[in-house]
Amino acid sequence: MTSKKDSPIQRIEPPFWYAGMCNKELQILFYGENIAKNFVETTEQGIIIKVTKTDNANFIFVTINVNWEIEKEILFIFKRNNKILFSQKYSIKQRRKNSADRKGFDSSDVVYLIMPDRFANGNGLNDNDKTVTEKYNRELPGGRHGGDINGITQHLDYIQSLGVTALWNTPVCEDNEAEFSYHTYAQSDVYKVDPRFGTNEDYVRLSEGLHQRGMKLIHDYVTNHWGLQHWMVKDPPTKDWINTFETYVQTNHKRTTVIDVNASKIDRQQCIEGWFVPSMPDLNITNPLVLKYLTQNAIWWIEYANLDGLRIDTFNYAEPLQMVKWTKAIMTEYPNFNMVGEITQRNHGILSYWQKDSKTGEIYNFNSNLPSLMDFSLCDALQLAFNDDDGMWDKGMTRIYDSLTFDFLYPNVHNLLIFAENHDSKRLNHCYELDLQKYKLAMVVLATVRGIPQLYYGSEVGMAGDQYFMGDADIRQDFPGGWVGDASNAFYAEGRTEDQKAYFEFTSQLFQWRKTKAAIHFGKTTHYIPEDNIYVYFRYNNEDSIMVIINNKTEMGTVRTIRFKENIEKFTTGLSVFTNEEIELINDISIEGKSFLILELR
């Protein structure tokens, strides 16, 4: 930076940008005391498209034309009364080669979800930081426990050994709330990694480490809200930057009001504009400056950290028509990218509305441009089905069968994120009271039905937890071995208890097997109505066919293979994935209670 005197600029966002982007208009935020009283120009004629000054004199938004393909440094000059007061350099950097063509995660991947504060403490020196309020306190269940990005990077061998190919961390940007800041969904600076997690450079190194292994990084992004301590919440650029009411109004959480033709305007408004919780102010993305800010911020992280995907938190809480613009802008820059939205709906008709090119959305002349959704219906089924021993009309394996019967509603069922648990639900092992066999059955379904499987850290070594009676901290416990002095270290075979070994070895074998199975990744599905609580389905393409049998009874069961003739066809035997046993398909198949068979047909 060059200046005639000290510059009053305190922040510039984005801090830099990239050449060769599809959208040539860049909105740069300059922040500093009374900066809007100045006139701004550049040394290059015609580069400034417009200068926007708001009702807050501490902000100037300068929109420039970035219509070039190479690195460049721009000099902004700030004047008053035709005198130069100071100047500011701004860098336009070169993009990575083929950045626009990056390929996002898909159904050939297995995603591993981590809460960074609870996984591993790789750098004890950043447990506390003077720039943020909440300090390290591992004794407090909902406190800061010290997990960080280095802790994740140091255990990539472990993550990869599970058969995982993509990593999703809950948000890594700074959250400066005085308590419960560990989850980082109440962000206070969306261009900066939380210092208790590390630095922006640490995050880039994590991305590089994953890519060196052929793995992918998914960034958790929040468009709906920030935290109370965000610097722009404390000093808003405009009066309507945040959705506000005369008194505090919380969202009614009735996301159905967004598409309900009978919904009242006030109910819809409260759903979209009400705050998620008192510590999370709701962003007004109908303000073009806000929408542009969030769009550029997401693109900046994709470029800067070389991301392979986004997971968008509370996607359908924000104004839908503005979110359409946000998703479209990102997918225009990266046509092969992937983004999965959190749409917490169990009703398939409502959920399918939010996927790109949805026929349900067409009814409303709506297209979200959102490629992927989280399949909450299947999650519910996986948390309940294996406790139903009798398999009545709508229980047991029929829960899973019924969920999949709605696949016709989705434009792309392969691009649904499927999961049995996450950081907002009961732990699967709690649902099944640490019954390893039931855990196995749930994982087999997760590994073999359509979609992109997501695992939740620690369940693969038997971690459990109950959100509803014990609170969020119980489902977000520290991974055993992530801290010096832990009773066991489940990151390494020699450090695992016998129970941890049993969970880990099964999970690893199953998802390592899945890695190379194209019929599972993108193949078709034929499933058969469960009989006697036994569910049979096939995943197949032109080259391969895989038969999955799940006996959810406690007793031995028999499968009559003649019933599946349309899928068995010319095949005579099936190779059992876990035992390498050849099973004749011309005979009925006997299967133990609460067990499964995955057969590669031959």
Residues facing residue 9 across a β-bridge: 32
Q: What share of the chain is helix, strand, coil (3-state, %, to 5)?
A: 30, 25, 45
Strand pairing class (9-13; 25-32): antiparallel
H or E stretch covering 443: helix 436-448
Name which of 346, 348, 349, 340 is nearest 371 in CA terms. Answer: 340
d(CA 215, CA 438): 29
How many residues comprise the chain? 602
- What DSSP designation does 96 have? P
d(CA 474, CA 479): 12
Q: How many CB atoms lie within 10 A of CB 484?
A: 8
Q: What angle do CA 178, 181, 183 make, to 5 degrees?
A: 165
Residue 483's SS3 state is coil
Name which of 400, 409, 398 is nearest 380 in CA terms. Answer: 400
Q: Tokens 């309900």 correspond to what residue?
A: 260
d(CA 102, CA 153): 22
Q: Tokens 């939380």 correspond to what residue?
A: 194
| Cis before 14 (ω within 30) | yes
Strand pairing class (534-540; 573-576): unpaired
User: What does the block give as tokens for 34?
Assistant: 């009374």
Active site amino acids: 313, 342
User: Residue 285: what are its φ and ψ, rounded to 5°?
Assistant: -80, 0
H or E stretch covering 329: helix 320-333
Q: Let me know: does 375 contact 419? Beta carbons within 8 Å.
A: yes
Helices (H) and strands (E) in the chain, counts: 17, 26
Alpha helices, DSSP H, located in 240-319: 265-273, 288-305
Q: How many CB atoms lie within 10 A of CB 136?
A: 18
Strand pairing class (189-193; 173-174): antiparallel
Please enumerate in sequence order all residues whose Cβ is within 8 A of that of 377, keeping only pairs 6 or more positions apart, or say none.
346, 347, 348, 351, 403, 406
Amino acid at 585: L
Amino acid at 285: I
Q: Let me know: does 174 contact 189? Beta carbons within 8 Å.
A: yes
Give the dihedral of Cα atoms 326, 330, 335, 339; nearest 10 deg. Answer: -80
